[in-house]
């Protein structure tokens, strides 16, 4: 590589989001951004990343990359983890199969057998049992360790998960077992993955970390090797970045890697428009993620991936199988359905011209005239309208509808799925969405934003700058950080502020050291403390910020009353300590390059359901002060916005499109 090539790469930040259909890129340097998309390569995700970097004309040496990866997510959802052994205490090796004994189908008298995460033959039992105070009930003997070595040698696993009772109080037995695991076998212990109470949730997190850990480690190793001199970080499910070398051991914290980038990006761009209360809609090719942001993305410790609970901190969102590539079909009862199956990246929707024969949401939007076949991906990809109509014809025939009526039905069904998801994250949690702004992004989000806002009675929406690649932009806007937790059981009335302050300091130290290893200075790291509290005798906790014992207790009473409608006179119990560590804010700025104002449409198009031709605008030519009234199409390289009748939009200084529906237009 020439010296000139090296200089071109230096100083560039690259955000990369690997999705089910497209891999998105945002390249940033000194206030300027370039965006790019390539089709994903699900069998080898690094190939799409390397192709995109090459098409951007970049050399990897000196490049700083923040990446959202779907490797862990896809492996879990598809059940394609590695052969993993689970080690528990004697008589408790089947904790993962027993679970919480909750019935998924309450009224089914003959439910199917639940999926066992680990086969019974791969669940091993051993000594090293503690009681609830950390006292030894059964020691871990040399014979126990030899027997474990023998069984591991016999079963030849790729990974091992260790989960002993109360290991968060004393991790010595888990560490002894870990030291006995043969080299080359990926090993996770619960006292490192999730040192918190709840043996089942802790066990699942530890097993997931081992089950997909070798896949994540192998992928990151291959990517780092082929990227040469680039510096690579990976987005965690909690919305913070972690160095690639450390991420390889923490696969369970990457299960919402890409979607977390979208939430960070949504909060970042909306802040430029002074919007803080947001409902977000990330509609990609395969799925749609919805979330609620009130100042910052919410975190949850009660998330799920597939059927499994994931108790590590992750962004609180709801995901459904409805995206631009979702397949439309007719069920045996003659009802039109959309999703959750997707056409994916290969062959993709019928209109991609890659051999797809089934109708997708993208095909329906094209048939209705809401997509310009010549403007997809900035003209780099021509959509095949004839192929879309041919596929829709087969679906429409089964419904006895015209092509356009069938396409409208596909859009309406997909919209209802997404509106229902938005209600789950807002109305069903006691939040009135009418006071929020709907932020729509992803490659397909802008085509549905107005209809979804109408469905929820919302009058304000925002389509961010570079909405089609916002998750990749969010990778650049994120901060390096860690979410740490450790059990600390006891009644608040028996504790002191100084005791807990010392415990917080000990817990934070490990995370601070990890961030220092990533190149941060200690004075750049911010720490936030929180405590998980409950009334004595309860099972579930509420998390409140730490500002001393008395205030924490009062905040807990107040939050409990707000959530459940009452407060109790019972003693308050501390369960876990939590520390959130954050590095410095991202050094990127949104800027909308000034251009000559051009409020006239670049062309007028026929859109089904609208009597007169609809104006089409290039988004880059809209500047602050312009006002566009619907119906209208607004196109850009990575997405299209359908501004429905009764809606209007105006660009803000950062380039975001602010949408609103005047009160007298409904």
> Is the pLDDT score of 596 beyond 60?
no
DSSP character for 570? Answer: S
3-state secondary structure labels for all residues of 246-286: HHCCCHHHHCCHHHHHHHHHHHHHHHHCCCCEEEEEEECCC
- Is the Cβ–Cβ distance between 6 and 61 less than 8 Å? yes
DSSP character for 76? Answer: H
Q: Give the DSSP H or E segment for 659.
A: strand 657-660
Q: Which of 199-203, 340-344, 520-524, 575-579 has the lowest mean pLDDT?
A: 340-344
Backbone angles phi, psi at 568, to 5 degrees: -115, 165
Q: Specify the pLDDT at position 168.
A: 92
Backbone angles phi, psi at 390, to 5 degrees: -65, -45
Q: Specify the pLDDT at position 141.
A: 95
> Is the pLDDT score of 578 beyond 50?
yes
Peptide bond connecting 631 to the previous residue in cis, omega within 30 degrees of 0: yes
Helices 45-55 and 199-227, axial angle in degrees (round to 10): 40
Q: Specify the pLDDT at position 621.
A: 84
Alpha-carbon span 285 to 442, nearest angstrom: 8
What are the beta bridge partners of residue 470?
Answer: none
Q: With bands split at pLDDT 50, 70 and 90, how would you rate the model's confidence at 599?
A: low
Alpha-carbon span 287 to 270, nearest angstrom: 22
Q: What is the pLDDT averaged over residues 154-167?
A: 95
Q: Which of 6-10, 266-270, 276-280 has the lowest mean pLDDT?
A: 6-10
Tens digit of each residue's pLDDT (9 = 90 or more) over 423-458 = 999 998 888 999 999 999 887 889 999 999 999 999
Other Cβ atoms within 10 Å of 543 Cβ, number: 20
- Is the Cβ–Cβ distance between 185 and 153 less than 8 Å? no
Backbone angles phi, psi at 9, to 5 degrees: -70, -30
> Is the pLDDT score of 557 beyond 90?
yes
Q: What is the pLDDT averaged over residues 210-238?
A: 90
- The torsion region of residue 192 among left (phi > 0), alpha (psi -120 to 50) and beta comes to alpha
Query: Of 416, 461, 459, 465, which Cα lies nearest the Cα of 440?
Result: 461
**pTM here?**
0.83
Helices 403-425 and 385-399, axial angle in degrees (round to 10): 90
Q: Architecture of 3-76+217-254 per CATH? A: 2-Layer Sandwich (3.30)
Q: Mean pLDDT score of the chain, rounded to an integer?
A: 88
Long-range contacts of the stretch 140-144 (C-beta < 8 A, 24+): 140/173, 140/176, 140/177
Tens digit of each residue's pLDDT (9 = 90 or more) over 304-337 = 887 888 888 899 888 887 888 888 999 888 899 9
> Is the pLDDT score of 100 beyond 90?
no
Q: Specify the pLDDT at position 528.
A: 94
Q: Specify the pLDDT at position 2.
A: 34
Q: With bands split at pLDDT 50, 70 and 90, how would you rate the model's confidence at 623?
A: confident
- Is the Cβ–Cβ distance between 387 and 359 less than 8 Å? no
- Is the Cβ–Cβ distance between 136 and 130 less than 8 Å? yes
Other Cβ atoms within 10 Å of 650 Cβ, number: 16
What is the separation of C-alpha 504 from the centre of its chain, rounded to a whole number of angstroms? 28
Tens digit of each residue's pLDDT (9 = 90 or more) over 457-500 = 999 999 998 888 888 999 998 989 999 999 999 999 999 999 99
Backbone angles phi, psi at 92, to 5 degrees: -125, 20
Q: Specify the pLDDT at position 4.
A: 32
Q: What percent of the chain has pLDDT over 70?
A: 95
Q: Specify the pLDDT at position 86.
A: 97
Q: Do domains 3-76+217-254 and 261-321+415-476 have the same CATH topology?
A: yes
What is the separation of C-alpha 436 from the centre of its chain, rounded to a whole number of angstroms? 21
Q: With bands split at pLDDT 50, 70 and 90, how would you rate the model's confidence at 8?
A: very low
575's tokens = 């369960």
Strand residues in 262-353 grouped as ranges (E):
277-283, 288-294, 299-300, 303-305, 308-310, 314-315, 317-320, 326-330, 336-342
> Is the pLDDT score of 645 beyond 90?
yes
Rg of the chain over all Cα atoms, to the nearest angstrom: 26
CB-hemisphere CA count at 13 Å for 334? 5
Query: Between these two residues, 160 and 59, which has the higher pLDDT value?
Result: 160
Other Cβ atoms within 10 Å of 312 Cβ, number: 25
Q: What share of the chain is helix, strand, coil (3-state, %, to 5)?
A: 35, 25, 40
Cα maximum dimension of the chain: 83
> Is the pLDDT score of 139 beyond 50?
yes
Other Cβ atoms within 10 Å of 585 Cβ, number: 12
429's tokens = 């949690």
What torsion, rounded to 10 degrees, do the Cα atoms 266, 267, 273, 278 define? 80
Q: With bands split at pLDDT 50, 70 and 90, how would you rate the model's confidence at 9?
A: very low
Where exactly are the structural domains of the chain?
3-76+217-254, 81-204, 261-321+415-476, 326-411, 479-582, 603-665
Alpha-carbon span 243 to 261, nearest angstrom: 15
Which CATH superfamily does the domain covering 261-321+415-476 fall into? ATPase, nucleotide binding domain (3.30.420.40)
Pick the CATH number of 479-582 from 3.30.1490, 3.30.420, 2.60.98, 1.10.287: 3.30.1490
Q: With bands split at pLDDT 50, 70 and 90, how would you rate the model's confidence at 619?
A: confident
- Is the Cβ–Cβ distance between 180 and 107 less than 8 Å? no
- Is the Cβ–Cβ distance between 290 and 281 less than 8 Å? yes
Q: Give the DSSP H or E segment for 490.
A: strand 479-491
Tens digit of each residue's pLDDT (9 = 90 or more) over 387-400 = 999 999 999 988 88
Work out the end-to-end distance of the chain between its first and last CA atoms, rounded to an integer number of angstroms.
61
Q: Specify the pLDDT at position 603.
A: 80
Which residue do the tokens 């025939």 mark?
Answer: 397
DSSP character for 571? Answer: P
Tens digit of each residue's pLDDT (9 = 90 or more) over 32-71 = 888 888 888 878 888 999 999 999 988 877 788 999 887 8
Other Cβ atoms within 10 Å of 179 Cβ, number: 9
């Amino acid at each position: 590589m020439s010296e000139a090539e090296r200089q071109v790469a230096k100083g560039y930040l690259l955000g990369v989001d690997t999705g089910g259909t497209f891999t998105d890129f945002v390249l940033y340097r000194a206030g300027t951004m370039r965006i790019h998309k390539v089709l994903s390569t699900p069998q080898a995700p690094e190939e799409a990343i390397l192709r995109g970097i090459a098409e951007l004309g970049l050399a990897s040496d000196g490049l700083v990359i923040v990446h959202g990866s779907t490797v862990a997510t896809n492996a879990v959802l598809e059940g394609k983890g590695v052969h993993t052994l689970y080690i528990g205490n004697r008589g408790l090796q089947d904790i993962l199969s027993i679970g919480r004994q909750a019935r998924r189908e309450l009224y089914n008298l003959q439910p199917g057998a639940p999926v066992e995460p680990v086969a019974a033959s791969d669940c091993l039992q051993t000594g090293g049992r503690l009681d609830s105070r950390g006292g030894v009930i059964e020691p871990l003997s040399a014979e126990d360790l030899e027997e474990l070595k023998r069984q591991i040698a016999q079963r030849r696993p790729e990974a091992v998960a260790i989960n002993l009772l109360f290991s968060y109080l004393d991790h010595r037995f888990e560490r002894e077992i870990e030291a006995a695991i043969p080299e080359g076998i990926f090993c996770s212990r619960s006292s490192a993955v999730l040192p918190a109470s709840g043996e089942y949730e802790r066990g699942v997190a530890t097993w997931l970390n081992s089950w997909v850990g070798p896949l994540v480690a192998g992928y990151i190793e291959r990517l780092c090797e082929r990227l040469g001199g680039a510096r690579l970080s990976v987005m965690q499910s909690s919305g913070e970045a972690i160095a690639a070398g450390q991420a390889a051991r923490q696969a369970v914290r990457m299960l919402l890697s890409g979607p977390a980038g979208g939430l960070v990006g949504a909060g970042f761009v909306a802040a430029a428009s002074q919007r803080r209360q947001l409902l977000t809609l990330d509609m990609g090719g395969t799925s749609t993620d919805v979330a609620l942001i009130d100042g910052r993305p919410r975190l949850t410790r009660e998330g799920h991936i597939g059927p499994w609970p994931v108790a590590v901190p992750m962004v609180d969102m709801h995901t459904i199988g409805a995206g631009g590539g979702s397949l439309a079909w007719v069920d045996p009862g003659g009802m039109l359905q959309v999703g959750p199956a997707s056409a994916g990246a290969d062959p993709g929707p019928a209109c991609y011209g890659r051999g797809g024969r089934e109708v997708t949401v993208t095909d329906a939007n094209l048939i209705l005239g809401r997509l310009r076949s010549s403007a997809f991906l900035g003209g780099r990809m021509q959509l095949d309208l004839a192929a879309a109509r041919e596929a829709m014809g087969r679906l429409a025939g089964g419904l006895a509808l015209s092509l356009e009526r069938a396409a409208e039905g596909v859009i309406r069904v997909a919209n209802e799925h997404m509106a229902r998801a938005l209600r789950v994250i807002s109305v069903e949690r006691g939040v009135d969405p009418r006071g929020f702004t709907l932020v729509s992004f992803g490659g397909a989000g802008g085509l549905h934003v107005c209809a979804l806002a109408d469905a929820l009675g919302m009058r304000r929406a925002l389509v961010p700058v570079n909405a089609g690649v916002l998750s990749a932009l969010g990778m650049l806007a994120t901060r390096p950080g860690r979410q740490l937790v450790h059990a600390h059981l006891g009644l608040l009335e028996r504790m002191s502020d100084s005791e807990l302050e010392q415990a917080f300091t000990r817990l934070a130290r490990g995370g601070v050291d990890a961030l220092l290893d990533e190149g941060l200075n200690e004075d750049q790291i911010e720490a936030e403390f929180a405590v998980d509290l409950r009334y004595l005798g309860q099972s579930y906790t509420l998390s409140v910020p730490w500002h001393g014992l008395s205030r924490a207790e009062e905040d807990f009473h107040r939050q409990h009353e707000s959530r459940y409608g009452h407060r109790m006179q019972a003693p308050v119990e501390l369960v876990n300590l939590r520390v959130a560590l954050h590095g410095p804010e991202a050094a990127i700025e949104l800027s909308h390059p000034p251009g000559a104002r051009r409020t006239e449409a670049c062309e007028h198009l026929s859109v089904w359901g609208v009597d007169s031709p609809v104006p089409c605008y290039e988004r880059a030519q809209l500047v602050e002060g312009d006002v566009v009234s619907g119906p209208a199409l607004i196109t850009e390289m990575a997405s299209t916005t359908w501004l429905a009748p009764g809606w209007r939009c105006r660009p803000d200084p950062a380039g975001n499109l602010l949408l609103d529906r005047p009160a007298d237009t409904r």
